[in-house]
């Protein structure tokens, strides 16, 4: 049996290995083993000390020096002799004894123990420092549920339950901290069915306003709408809506705007150079893109600077409606935009060049110039209203109906439990 892993180099009375593991447990490499080296000329040595995984002390001295990368073999087969067998057996029992001694130290120690495994030192915590019986309790003596010092069961505080509990009064102190379903009366009215997180935590503070003393806080999520409220002794902050990528849009110059159904109008898909025109949440619908709330519309270019949107219920009736293309580098508007709506809900949008005229009074006035197409590095933003039968509104109504049905089922289940208990 021989050991030939890796290669060696040598000088003086030392052999240095590359890719070797001379100290590996059970390798049987030990003092007295013979090493044959395929150098020029070939040389033979006897190991006088296994110094490390890559270092052997040998005799006689190396002459001439052995270059790096030289092949070699350590003879392990001398165990066929009685003396060799005795040495191999002693080496094996020595490994076993070192392992058992190290494991005994791990079991008995209350600190850390360093043991050597396969020639590598490993530091581990002693079991007496890990298992401190007097410091540990037992879940077997605890009740399950939401009480103090209890072990939490599935459904505690609404976590892990298949159907979240319904809270009819978000601010009922008796309801405690929990994940829950909420009803319209406590979630902001119709359209705000959803799931919520209700915290019952009286923070340190003074005064009756929720800003000074946040006794309770609640978060309600319904579709894209996320809003929260704080309350202190009956005085609430009112629902405050969180703005995020689902309910805002970035205008062509990168500024944020509150979003409802949004259309982004360009000259053509092929000529647009803006990589963010169809960012997440937007899809192409002809000569432009729309977010999913405006799903179902189409945008058509009628001619130079003139575009038509169909499938909406017209421009938004409140808030901002149109935004001209803007320079993404921040230099301002790239045209003047105007819209004309039809009775059928169609919208014609025109883009004009910006011109400045000197009035009779000597003032400089901004006026419309010739029709121009949307620049390739920008777009026109249009905020829309959508009909009740739009794709998004149908999905929203279906989700609200499903939530209401889940709430009714949860209430009936709670009533059945109460009747059974009584």
Would you give the distance in Å from CA 227 to the centre of its chain?
22
Greater pLDDT, 386 or 405: 386
- Are the C-beta atoms of residues 326 and 315 closer than 8 Å to each other? no
Beta strands, E only, 206-343? 216-222, 225-232, 235-236, 240-241, 248-250, 256-258, 262-265, 282-284, 288-291, 298-303, 306-310, 322-323, 336-341
Per DSSP, the residues of 146-211 read SSTTPBPPTTGGGTT-SSPPEES-TT-GGG-SEEEEE-HHHHTSTT--EEEEEEE---S--SSSTT
Torsion of CA 176, 181, 186, 189, to 10 degrees: 170
Confidence of residue 161 (pLDDT cuts 50, 70, 90): low
8 A C-beta contact, residue 181 and residue 168 = no
Tell me the mean pLDDT in the region 72-97.
62
Q: Is the pLDDT of residue 393 over 50?
A: yes
Is the pLDDT score of 368 beyond 70? yes
CA distances from 338 to 347, 352, 369 (A): 10, 8, 13
Please count the residues of the chain: 422
Cis peptide before 184 (omega within 30 of 0): no
| β-strand partners of 70 | 8
pLDDT attached to residue 245: 73
Letter string b/e over residues 349-371, b meaning 16 or more CB atoms within 10 A of that residue's CB:
bbbbeeeeeeeeeeeeeeeeeee
Of 8-17, 83-92, 212-221, 371-380, the poorest mean pLDDT is in: 212-221
**β 306-310/347-358 pair status:** antiparallel
Q: Collapse the DSSP code of 416 into the 3-class scheme (helix H, G, I; strand E, B; otherwise coil) and give the result.
A: helix
Read off the pLDDT of each residue in 331-341 and give the average, rounded to a whole number: 93
Q: How many CA atoms lie within 13 A of 160 on its CB side?
A: 7
pLDDT in tens, 231-285: 665 566 666 777 777 777 777 777 777 777 999 999 999 999 999 999 888 899 9
- Under DSSP, the state recorded for 304 is T
Cα separation, 368 vs 355, whole angstroms: 6
As a whole number of angstroms, the distance between CA 326 and CA 262 comes to 16
Q: Are strands 288-291 and 2-3 parallel, antiparallel or unpaired?
A: unpaired
Instruction: Name the average pLDDT for the chain.
Output: 77
Highest mean pLDDT among 183-192, 374-383, 393-402: 374-383
Short-list 299, 354, 140, 194, CA closest to 291? 299
Q: Residue 232 burial by CB count (10 A; 0-12/13-18/19+): exposed, middle or buried?
A: buried
Is the CA virtual torsion 388, 394, 400, 404 positive or negative? positive
Cα separation, 314 vs 291, in Å, equals 16
User: Which of 116-120, 268-272, 299-303 is predicted with the least confidence, judged by mean pLDDT?
Assistant: 116-120
Residue predicted with more confidence, 172 or 353:
353
Other C-beta atoms within 10 Å of 128: how many?
A: 13
User: Which of these, 298, 291, 296, lies nearest to 262 by C-alpha position?
Assistant: 291
Strands 298-303 and 178-182: unpaired
Higher pLDDT, 252 or 101: 252
Chain segment 303-333, per-residue pLDDT in tens: 999 999 999 999 998 888 999 999 988 888 9
Q: Band of the pLDDT at 204, cuts 50, 70, 90?
A: very low
């Amino acid at each position: 049996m021989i050991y030939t892993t890796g290669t060696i180099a040598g000088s003086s009375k030392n052999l240095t290995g590359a890719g070797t593991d001379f100290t590996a447990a059970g390798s049987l490499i030990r003092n007295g083993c013979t090493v044959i080296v395929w150098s020029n000329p070939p040389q033979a040595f006897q190991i006088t000390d296994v110094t490390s995984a890559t270092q052997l002390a040998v005799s006689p001295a190396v002459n001439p020096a052995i270059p790096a990368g030289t092949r070699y073999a350590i003879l392990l087969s001398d165990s066929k002799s009685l003396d060799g067998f005795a040495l191999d057996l002693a080496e094996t029992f020595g490994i076993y004894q070192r392992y058992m001694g190290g494991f005994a130290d791990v079991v008995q120690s209350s600190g850390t123990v360093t043991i050597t495994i396969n020639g590598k030192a490993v530091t581990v915590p002693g079991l007496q420092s890990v298992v401190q019986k007097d410091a540990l309790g037992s879940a077997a003596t605890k009740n399950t549920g939401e009480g103090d010092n209890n072990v939490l069961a599935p459904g505690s505080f609404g976590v892990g339950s298949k159907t979240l509990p319904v809270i009819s009064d978000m601010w009922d102190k008796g309801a405690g901290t929990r994940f829950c379903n909420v009803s319209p009366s406590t979630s902001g009215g119709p359209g705000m069915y959803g799931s919520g997180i209700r915290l019952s935590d009286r923070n340190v503070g003074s005064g009756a306003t929720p800003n000074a003393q946040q006794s309770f806080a609640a978060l309600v999520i319904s579709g894209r709408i996320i809003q929260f409220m704080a309350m202190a002794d009956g005085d609430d902050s009112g629902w405050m809506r969180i703005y995020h990528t689902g309910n805002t849009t970035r205008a062509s110059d990168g500024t944020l705007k509150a979003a409802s159904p949004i259309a982004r109008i360009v000259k053509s898909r092929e000529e647009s150079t803006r990589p963010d025109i169809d960012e997440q949440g937007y899809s192409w619908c002809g000569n432009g893109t729309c977010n999913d709330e405006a799903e179902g519309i189409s945008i058509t270019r009628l001619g130079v600077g003139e575009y038509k949107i169909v499938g909406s219920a017209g421009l938004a009736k409140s808030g901002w409606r149109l935004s001209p293309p803007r320079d993404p580098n921040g230099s301002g508007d790239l045209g003047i935009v105007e819209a004309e709506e039809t009775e059928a809900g169609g919208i014609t949008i025109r883009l004009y060049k910006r011109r400045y005229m000197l009035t009779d009074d000597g003032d400089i006035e901004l006026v419309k110039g010739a029709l121009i197409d949307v620049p390739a590095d920008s777009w026109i933003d249009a905020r829309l209203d959508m009909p009740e039968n739009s794709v998004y509104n149908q999905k929203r109504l279906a989700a609200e109906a499903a939530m209401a049905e889940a709430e009714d089922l949860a209430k009936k289940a709670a009533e059945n439990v109460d009747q059974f208990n009584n």
